[in-house]
Structure 1
Amino acid sequence: MAGLPIGSIVLVGGVALLGFVLWKKRIAQEEDEEFALDMSIDNAFEAGTGLKKFSYGELFCATNNFAEEPKLGEGGFDGVYRGFLRESNSYVVVKRISKGSKQGRKEYTSEVKILSRLRHRNFLQLVGWCDNKRELLLIYEFMENRSLDYHLFKEKSLLTWAIRHKIAQGLASALLYLHEERKQCVAYRDVKPSNVLLDSNFNAKLVDFGLARLVGHGKELQTIVLAGTMGYIAPECLMTSK
């Protein structure tokens, strides 16, 4: 009878020790993954030619301390702000992501890797970046006429057919370049109005390459996992994955 309490204590202690070991192992694994992701982000930025590294203070002032008023939108992992750079006397778009969001950081890494290799008039230009201790920021050129979904669903004035045709041509040109005109095909996977920005002349600029993947031409495209936004994915893809 005396052995029962002792056995229970030993059992509880063993379970607690096992839990502690597994917890430490998970923490170490997460730290390794985070280090690998940081290295991947650093390599991606180094590969991006012509990108400027901004200081956090510079972007903090440019966006009015990341205030709500210049905020342009918010995605699943980030906030998007309008900023004004006094040095260049120009407006920019600043995308902000917390370093605690691993999925968001992975998408940013993918975006920088791909955008650093692409050169096309119908892609939004990446200007620079900032790596702060708590967050990662990407800086893009500013689009005066906002996004296509703003004009389709929120703006009171309608787009003329000539402008709609111009936007469709620009988007088609961007996708043709990604699919056919490069040695390595890019599967974009997230075509929707909010990812099409418009400059002062209503030229279309494709943005947000977080879900894009570099693949070879031909059969390799069939191995890409289905991704995108519900409502904009072709119905046959949902039913057959093709």
Structure 2
Amino acid sequence: MDHEFEQGIGPKRFSYQQLVQATNNFAEEGKLGQGGFGGVYRGYLSNLSVAVKRVSKGSKQGRKEYMSEVKIISKLRHKNLVQLVGWCHEKGEFLLIYEFMPNGSLDSHLFKSENMLSWTVRYKIAIGLASALLYLHEEWEQCVVHRDIKSSNVTLDSNFNTKLGDFGLARLMDNELCLNTTGLAGTIGYMAPEYISSGKASKGSDVFSFGVVALEIACGRRSQISLVGWAREAYGNGRVLDVADGRLGMDFNVEQMECLLTVGLWCAHPDFNLRPSIRQALQVLNFEAALPNLPARMPVPMYDVPASSTEPLLSTSLLTGR
């Protein structure tokens, strides 16, 4: 692992003792968040504010996700991706050091914060997330499927610029379609139907997740199974603006709101063959292409047929989000 990591450029190896000192021994008062992977702590390294992700020792996938994250994100360079500063694996611990995001995660603003995001900032965040995905899917030397696009993995810097993070589930895909049987992982509510049914991640399943986040940004509601259906019903009735976040009042650009809601529904189309690429979605969000005409009624979900009996169909009742 040391040899593989040190071939990269950019992120550096830190000692466990350095990180203990940087985080005041992983003090609870400096804890920024907690997830299925473990905790994230505020730290200071040579006057640089950092966020230290401490992978839980009880996480069965901890080592695998840690290696995936270091090997993939250390090579990526994009203004809308969180920068990995360094890494450490000592004393049975797996630690990742990132640049600190002063404005936290998108979900904390949409669903928990009293300081509501303005419409201008929200639309900028959506554009930034789409730009990050375009880089991962089409612009880097290999296709990267993130597999866990959700509002809690979208962080915001001091100027509320989008920074997509958490690449523990990300996978490199070599073939043109970017399809691979990877096994199911991710968070219910953001997962495409064909991904749930077959365990096959793709660019299309990332696009579905982006669509759900776009709807969350516009509606101000947390992702649930019903969010897409609720927005789709309003769209079908010709009243799509009815689902706009009521806390905004009418303090938003109507054309942009209609665009983001429509693109969100387009991306979260249950039939993966009828979803856009992230490039097409971004062109519409930038008003470089016309809005799509979506069917008034929610189509029946299309499921990708498993390639073999070793890939059983899974129901959402068997799954839990991280």
Please say whether Structure 1 and Structure 2 have the same fold, judged by a TM-score greater than 0.5. yes
Alignment-derived partner of residue 54 in structure 1: 14
Q: Report whether the alignment pairs 1:188 with 2:180.
A: no
Q: What residue in structure 2 maps to residue 117 of structure 1?
A: 75
Among residues 53, 61, 73, which one is paired with 1:103 in the alignment?
Answer: 61
Q: Is the 8 A contact 1:51 1:126 kept in 2?
A: yes
Show the counterpart of 2:38.
78
The answer to whether the 8 Å contact 2:39/2:56 transfers is no
- 1:213 and 2:171 aligned: yes
Partner secondary structure for residue 139 of structure 2:
coil
Task: Calculate the TM-score normalised by the size of structure 2.
Answer: 0.58
Aligned pairs, number? 200
The structure with the largest alpha-carbon Rg is 1
The aligned runs of 1:141-152 (5 Å cut-off) are 141-152=99-110
Distance 1:208 1:223 in 2: 20
Letter in 2 for 1:55: S
SS at match of 1:69: helix
2:122 to 161, 164, 173: 164
SS in structure 2 of the partner of residue 194 of structure 1: helix
What is the TM-score normalised by the length of structure 1?
A: 0.76
Is the Cα contact below 8 Å between 1:47 and 1:116 reproduced in 2?
A: no
For 1:129 and 1:236, locate their aligned partners in 2 and report how far apart those are by CA, in whole Å: 34
Superposed, 1:221-236 pairs within 5 Å as 221-236=179-194
Q: In the alignment, is residue 64 of structure 1 matched against residue 64 of structure 2?
A: no
Amino acid at match of 1:93: A
Q: Which runs of 5+ in 2 are unaligned?
A: 198-302, 306-322
Query: 1:132 Cα shift?
Result: 1.6
Counterpart Cα distance in 2 of 1:195 and 1:93: 14
SS of the equivalent of 2:29 reads coil
The answer on whether the counterparts of 1:145 and 1:202 sit within 8 Å (CA) in structure 2 is yes
Contact 1:70 1:81 in 2 (8 A): yes
Gaps of 5+ in 1: 1-40
Paired with 1:196 and 1:60, the residues of 2 have a C-alpha distance of 26
Q: Percent of aligned pairs with the same residue?
A: 66
1:133-173 CA distances to partner (integer Å, 9 max, x unpaired)?
A: 13121111000000000001110121111000110111000
